């Protein structure tokens, strides 16, 4: 049986783009008769706002999406909130440390900024870390340790990675692309890459469908699955939505926040139908429920390029032009 999930970070209000990703992840699971999991990714506590968890749950329910396991309904693989799963991440860290995959990095933010102009290995993943701290001697480490708490980085093995994405197709990533990444920050916070791998594996997720912005994270996650000897899921990365201003949807597009749409009394079916049509799942943007789209859903129908909302879409989605 397939198991899929939607894993929002409660750091901002959900917008139409998040609803679109959630809808597709839900459709994939419902079409296959699998189980759908909701997981709150609040591992980065300083960025998370606990009150948003309830808002996200309310927005998803309003939209017509349900889940079989989640923070509010529980389930056999709980808890479904990352801040309550710290022990699992610490166990994984220990295992990686013992097996020699990690090294402490003492570089400061300023050191990292100074390499910001280096060419990027993976788009959207920031500058490539040049591995400064990888080669430190024991003495150098001890000297640095006395003055600064380190982060822990995963030492990328020197081999290419190939994987097949359900929408983006076959991806071939050169050895070390993106550079060694942080799995635990200097302030002790576990990095997204590690937490998401530990959770997806522990929750038995077979199919990860998520936004295109995370495609570049996938090779890193595949390496973590391998290092932790865990079974990796299948991946499918869905296109992101862009506003009429040409910018990727974000907090700045306030009128496209689910909360704002709800407050205007716009019917969720109108949004579902428009999204289904923009995604080419249906031929006209008529209002419908998520369940009406199950029959129409197929990964093969989903395009690889970003979706640009025009003024007419904006009017339909927000009631304003």
The catalytic site residues sit at: 251
Residue 50 CA to residue 107 CA, distance in Å, equals 31
Cβ closer to ligand GLU: 78 or 131? 78
Cβ closer to ligand GLU: 214 or 241? 214
Cβ closer to ligand GLU: 8 or 290? 8
The least CB distance from residue 36 to ligand GLU, in Å, is 13
DSSP string, 38-80: E-B---SGGG--THHHHHHHHHHHHHT---SBBTTTB-TT---
The least CB distance from residue 292 to ligand GLU, in Å, is 25
Question: Cβ neighbours of residue 67 under 8 Å, at least 6 residues apart?
Answer: 6, 26, 36, 37, 38, 60, 73
Say if residues 36 and 4 touch (Cβ distance below 8 Å).
yes
DSSP string, 12-24: S--BHHHHHHHHH
Beta bridge partners of 234: 207
Cβ closer to ligand GLU: 196 or 257? 196
Cβ closer to ligand GLU: 145 or 164? 164
Read off the tokens for 197: 């791998």
**Footprint on this chain of ligand GLU (rule: CB under 6 A):** 7-9, 41, 196, 210, 214
The least CB distance from residue 196 to ligand GLU, in Å, is 5
The least CB distance from residue 280 to ligand GLU, in Å, is 22
Question: Cβ neighbours of residue 185 under 8 Å, at least 6 residues apart?
Answer: 151, 191
Over the Cα atoms of the chain, what is R_g?
A: 21
Which helix or strand (DSSP H or E) is residue 291 part of? none
Cβ closer to ligand GLU: 25 or 128? 25
The least CB distance from residue 103 to ligand GLU, in Å, is 25
The least CB distance from residue 41 to ligand GLU, in Å, is 4
Contacts 24+ apart (CB under 8 A), 255-258: 255/314, 255/318, 255/320, 256/15, 256/16, 256/17, 256/314, 256/317, 256/318, 257/13, 257/14, 257/15, 258/13, 258/14, 258/15, 258/16, 258/18, 258/19, 258/59, 258/62, 258/63
């Amino acid at each position: 049986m397939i198991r899929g999930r939607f894993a929002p970070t409660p750091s901002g209000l959900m917008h139409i783009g998040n609803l679109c990703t959630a809808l597709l992840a839900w459709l994939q699971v419902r079409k296959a008769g699998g189980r759908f999991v909701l997981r709150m990714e609040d591992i980065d506590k300083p960025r998370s706002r606990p009150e948003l968890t309830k808002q996200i749950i309310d927005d998803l329910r309003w939209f017509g999406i349900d889940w079989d396991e989640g923070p509010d309904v529980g389930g056999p693989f709980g808890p479904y909130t990352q801040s309550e799963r710290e022990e699992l991440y610490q166990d994984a860290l220990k295992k990686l440390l013992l097996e020699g995959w990690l090294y402490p990095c003492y570089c400061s933010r300023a050191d990292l900024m100074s390499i910001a102009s280096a060419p990027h290995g993976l788009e959207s993943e920031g500058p490539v870390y040049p591995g400064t701290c990888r080669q430190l001697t024991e003495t150098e480490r001890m000297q640095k340790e006395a003055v600064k708490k380190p982060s822990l980085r995963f030492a990328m093995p020197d081999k290419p990675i190939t994987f097949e994405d359900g929408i983006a197709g076959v991806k071939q990533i050169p050895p070390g692309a993106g550079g060694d990444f942080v799995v635990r920050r200097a302030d002790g916070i576990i990095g997204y890459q590690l937490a998401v791998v530990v959770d997806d594996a522990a929750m038995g997720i077979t199919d990860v469908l998520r936004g295109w912005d995370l495609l570049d994270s996938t090779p890193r996650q595949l390496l973590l699955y391998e290092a932790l000897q865990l079974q990796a899921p299948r991946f499918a990365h869905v296109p992101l939505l862009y506003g009429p201003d040409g910018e990727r949807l974000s907090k700045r597009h306030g009128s496209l926040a689910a909360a704002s749409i709800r407050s205007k009394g716009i019917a969720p079916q109108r949004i579902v139908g428009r999204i289904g049509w923009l995604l080419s799942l249906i031929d006209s943007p008529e209002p419908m429920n998520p369940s009406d789209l199950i029959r129409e859903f197929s990964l093969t129908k989903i395009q690889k390029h970003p979706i640009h909302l025009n003024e007419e879409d904006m009017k339909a989605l927000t009631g304003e032009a």
